[in-house]
Structures are given as C-alpha cells and as structure tokens.
Structure 1
Amino acid sequence: MRKFTIAAIAVLSIAGSGAVYAQYHRPWMEHVRHMRMNPEDRAAFVDARIAAVHAGLKLNADQEKLWPPVEAAVRDFAKLRIDRANARMNAGPGDADRAEDPIARLRQRAEDMGASSAALKKIADAADPLYKTLDEG
C-alpha cells in the first residue's frame, strides 16, 4: 500500500505538469496547435486522476478522515499548474517581447519553481499523516 501511495502522490503531483507538457511538446502534432486542452478539460482531467488515486487507495474509515487535506493540497498544486498553462495559452503578442528576454525568463522560472516548491511541500505535509497509517495491504 505504501508503494502505491508514493506512486499515487507522485502521479498527482505531476498530473498537471504532465498534461501541460504533453499539450505543448508534441512534435508529431506540431501542425495541429489549435487542438489545445481547454481549462475545463484540464480541470476534468485532474478531477479524474484524483478520483482514481482515491479509489485505488481503498482507505478505511480512519484513513478516510486524513484524505481531504491531501486532496486539497494536490488540487492547489494542480490549480497552480493549470493557471500557468492557461496563462501561456492566452499570452498576447506583447508577451512575446518579454519571453525573448533570457533574464526575465530566468526570473519567471525561479518564481515558478518557488511556488511549485511550496505547493509540493504542502502536499508532503498533508500526505505524511495518511502515509504513516498505510500498510503493505
């Protein structure tokens, strides 16, 4: 059960990033850039992944009480990633100049990493009590 939980939390943590990466880095579909995932689809994708992990854990009643903080932390992280993807998708022509500046990109990347770091720490803090209750079953 612990191995599954570790894998599940890792999957949830990168759920948004995987979907976003796949959305913008599909070399075999470069000619079809108009087929981007809309915000509602991204949210539905995250909901489905969270529900799948929750169902796969098969938590008992005591463990079930520890799930809501984990889910909230994962949703916060996913929202952060989705918001970034939506911002990139909706970037206007004026944003192209800023994107060309390597120093501005480095600063933005550092800010994004800081926010991601805080969100991942929140997931770890929320998942710790639940993780400690799991056994191999």
Structure 2
Amino acid sequence: MKRTTTPFQRRPMPVLAAALLLAIATLATPTSAATPGQTPASAHVMTVATHAPVDTRINNLHARLQITADQESLWQPVAQVMRDNASTMDSLRQSRMANANNMSAIDDLRTYGQVIDAHADGVKKLTSAFEPLYNSMSDTQKHNADLIFRSNTHHAAKKG
C-alpha cells in the first residue's frame, strides 16, 4: 500500500520560517529602515534568510538595530534566546524529517503541534529578552526596530 503524505509533510514547515520572528526580520529590510546601500529584501532573500546560520542573522540584526556599547549587556540575552530557539526548532525539524515516512496522521499532527508550541514558547522568551533592550533604545532605534518588525509581520502574514 502506497503511503500518501499529509499537507504538513509536503510543504515546508511555515513555523520554522516564523520560529524566530526577530531572526527572520534581519533581512526583511524596509526602505525606511535600511542602512546605507541596502534595498528592500526580495522574497528569495527572505527564504535564504531563514536558512542562514543563526549567528549571521544575529550579527545582521545587531547591526541593523544599531546596538550601542552601552546596550551590549541587554543585547546578549536576546542573542542567546535566538540561538536557543534556533537550536530547538532545528532539533524538532530534524526529528520530524527523520520520522516523516513512518508517522501516522495523528503522529504528524502531534509533532506539528510540538513545533507550534515550541514556536510560541520561543516568541515569548524572545519578547521577554527583547523588551529591556527595546526600552533602552533611543527614539530613532525604536522607530527602526518597529519598522523591522512591522515589515516582517506583514511578510509572514502574506506567506500564510
């Protein structure tokens, strides 16, 4: 009997792409938040961004948010949460891929639920880590951060 795949197995996990809202935002450069010489990211660049090593995304976001030396101690927890979230999501993705051919529909839904839960937990952790940094930012930095996140939110909504 030929096993058919579920919709979750056929298409890339949208949750993985959204797992690190902040990390994905690093290459979604709105024109008004771009640093000199940058242009808005294309959909292809966004896809590549989700596969870039987490430290590359962290460094890119650090630069785009114009983190100052005084803000470094507030930035480090944000970077660590991004690393932890990426590790968790990668682990779940690898587990799902390794077991995809043997999962029942119920197994598939359960593991997909685990991914969704991990994503939600990751966003909560990231929010808690990012808030003190955001509160320390200048009005210009806050405006830039708002544009970065707003741009990413609109992109994610269009993909879903």
Q: TM-score, normalised by structure 1?
A: 0.60
Query: What is the count of residue pairs matched by the alignment?
Result: 102
Distance 1:119 1:136 in 2: 26
Given that residues 24 and 57 in structure 2 are in contact (C-alpha distance below 8 angstroms), is that contact kept between their aligned partners in structure 1? no
Task: For 1:28-67, list aligned pairs within 5 A.
Answer: 45-67=53-75
Structure 1 residue 104 corresponds to structure 2 residue 107? yes
Task: For 1:69-80, list aligned pairs within 5 A.
Answer: 69-80=77-88
Q: Report the equivalent of 2:3.
A: none
Given that residues 73 and 122 in structure 1 are in contact (C-alpha distance below 8 angstroms), is that contact kept between their aligned partners in structure 2? yes
Q: Deviations over 1:20-45 (max 9, x none)?
A: xx59xxxxxxxxxxxxxxxxxx5x62
Give the % identical residues.
Answer: 32
Q: Quickly say closer, same or farther: Cα 1:14–1:84, change in 2 above 3 A.
A: farther
Distance 2:109 2:128 in 1: 28
Post-superposition offset of 1:11:
3.9
Given that residues 73 and 126 in structure 1 are in contact (C-alpha distance below 8 angstroms), is that contact kept between their aligned partners in structure 2? yes
Distance 2:129 2:62 in 1: 14
Q: Quickly say closer, same or farther: Cα 1:131–1:65, change in 2 above 3 A.
A: same
Post-superposition offset of 1:75:
0.8
- Identify the structure with the greater helix proportion: 1
What is the one-letter code of the residue matched to 1:108?
Answer: T
Q: Which runs of 5+ in 1 are unaligned?
A: 1-8, 16-21, 24-41
Post-superposition offset of 1:14:
7.1
Q: Secondary structure at the match of 2:138?
A: coil
Q: Deviations over 1:118-137 (max 9, x none)?
A: 11111000000001111232
Given that residues 63 and 133 in structure 1 are in contact (C-alpha distance below 8 angstroms), is that contact kept between their aligned partners in structure 2? yes
Structure 1 residue 129 corresponds to structure 2 residue 132? yes
Distance 1:86 1:70 in 2: 24
Q: Which runs of 5+ in 2 are unaligned?
A: 1-19, 27-46, 141-160
Q: Secondary structure at the match of 2:139?
A: coil
Distance 1:70 1:125 in 2: 9
Q: TM-score, normalised by structure 2?
A: 0.53
What is the one-letter code of the residue matched to 1:12?
Answer: A
